[in-house]
Amino acid sequence: MSIQGEKLQKVLARAGVGSRREMEKYIDANRVSVNGKVAKLGDRVEETDLIRVDGHTVKIEEKADRICRVIMYNKPEGELSTRKDPEGRRTVFDRLPRIDGERWIAVGRLDINTAGLMLFTNDGEMANRLMHPSYEVEREYSARVFGEVTNETIKNLTRGVELEDGPAKFLNIKPLGGEGINRWYNVTLNEGRNREVRRLWQSQDVEVSRLIRIRYGKLELDKRLPQGGWAELDLETVNYLRKTVKLGRETQTKLSVMPEKRKDKRAKINQIRKAVKKHNQRVKQTKRK
């Protein structure tokens, strides 16, 4: 399948440089060139073209050459969702495994004070679609809130309120209990605007003191996965995500296709816990220096 005539940002996304939306920003910022000329939005490229991003040559592959991979990550509070931080703070990318000739693309972000489920893939087109509001992929969060939550509050948040970037609402709010005016709720919405869950509650004079993403689409955070741990998803789960955003099936995987025994699953989780502990110790030693 030739890439002839495909839009530049789509080709870059498929090459794993970033999501299509990110690539559009790169092109706007004059960070991309094609055959030595600064690229512009709307440019189309052929497989013989020389494409560079920030001066580095991008290896263009046919769609069929790449195995679509996805990993689930249990983000702790205190980590940034950016690739690098000028202040040297921890980022979610610090813990992820290396991927030869490619890089992981975050499917959406969580702010520094939000924990829980994050997905990463090497397929920029899939990442773009999973984040795009037109596909209405549900996100579910557990939120501990501080303030008075009345029936009227719930009605307002599910009917919709006006935020500074447009109307927003929760699809569903499920009370989970708590003490005093600190109470837990599971909330669901089908878009991922910046700090949207927090801003929705704030519109009703209620503050979120803890926030954890527990579900993306039908994919729930694995409770056995420790904070700071990651696990690659099997082919069936990858294809569920691809089907959700109307992409064709993947037929290959880097994982074993043999059914896992219970003892093997326990061993894998223990291995993840050890890796997380080792990483945390290394970070502490670096800080002491």
Domain spans, the chain: 6-57, 70-133+220-287, 138-216
Give mean pLDDT, residues 264-287: 75
Give the per-residue pLDDT at 2.
45
Q: Would the pLDDT of 237 be above 50?
A: yes
The proportion of the chain whose per-residue pLDDT surpasses 70, expressed as a percent, equals 91
Signed CA dihedral, 22, 23, 27, 33: sign only: positive
Q: Measuring CA to CA, which residue among 118, 111, 130, 6 is closest to residue 62?
A: 6
pLDDT in tens, 220-232: 999 899 999 999 9
Same CATH fold, 70-133+220-287 and 6-57?
A: no
The proportion of the chain whose per-residue pLDDT surpasses 90, expressed as a percent, equals 62
Residue-averaged pLDDT of the chain: 89
Give the per-residue pLDDT at 112.
95
Residue 260: band (very low, low, confident or very high) from pLDDT cuts 50, 70, 90: low
CB neighbour list of residue 176: distance below 8 Å, 6 or more residues apart: 142, 183, 184, 185, 186
Is pLDDT larger for residue 279 or for residue 201? 201
Q: Would the pLDDT of 235 be above 90?
A: yes
Q: Report the half-sphere exposure of 72 (CA within 13 A, side-chain side).
A: 24
Give the per-residue pLDDT at 181.
79
Is pLDDT larger for residue 99 or for residue 206? 206
* Range with lowest mean pLDDT among 7-16, 85-94, 236-245: 7-16
Q: Would the pLDDT of 150 be above 70?
A: yes
Strand locations in 6-123, DSSP E?
6-7, 32-34, 37-38, 44-45, 51-53, 56-57, 70-75, 105-106, 114-121
Q: Report the half-sphere exposure of 276 (CA within 13 A, side-chain side).
A: 18
What one-letter code names the amino acid at 81? S
Residue 180: band (very low, low, confident or very high) from pLDDT cuts 50, 70, 90: confident
Which structure tokens are listed for 219?
A: 């994919």
Q: Residue 133, SS3? A: helix
Give the per-residue pLDDT at 63.
57
Q: Would the pLDDT of 185 be above 60?
A: yes
State the CATH architecture for 70-133+220-287: 2-Layer Sandwich (3.30)
Burial 8-40 (b: 16+ CB within 10 A, else e): bbbbbbbbbbbbbebbbebbeeeebbbeeeebe
Which structure tokens are listed for 181?
A: 């005016």
Give the per-residue pLDDT at 65.
67
Give the per-residue pLDDT at 259.
65
Domain 6-57 has CATH 3.20.20.110: no
Domain 138-216 has CATH 3.30.2350.10: yes
Give mean pLDDT, residues 243-269: 81
Give the per-residue pLDDT at 241.
97
Pairwise CA distance, residues 265 & 137, whole Å: 29
Residues comprising the chain, all counted: 289
Give yes or no for a contact between 170 and 143, defined as CB atoms under 8 angstroms apart: no
Give mean pLDDT, residues 131-144: 94
Give the per-residue pLDDT at 155.
96
- Residues recognised as catalytic: 111
Pairwise CA distance, residues 155 & 175, whole Å: 13
Give mean pLDDT, residues 7-21: 84
Residue 48: band (very low, low, confident or very high) from pLDDT cuts 50, 70, 90: confident
Q: Report the half-sphere exposure of 152 (CA within 13 A, side-chain side).
A: 4
Give mean pLDDT, residues 3-11: 78
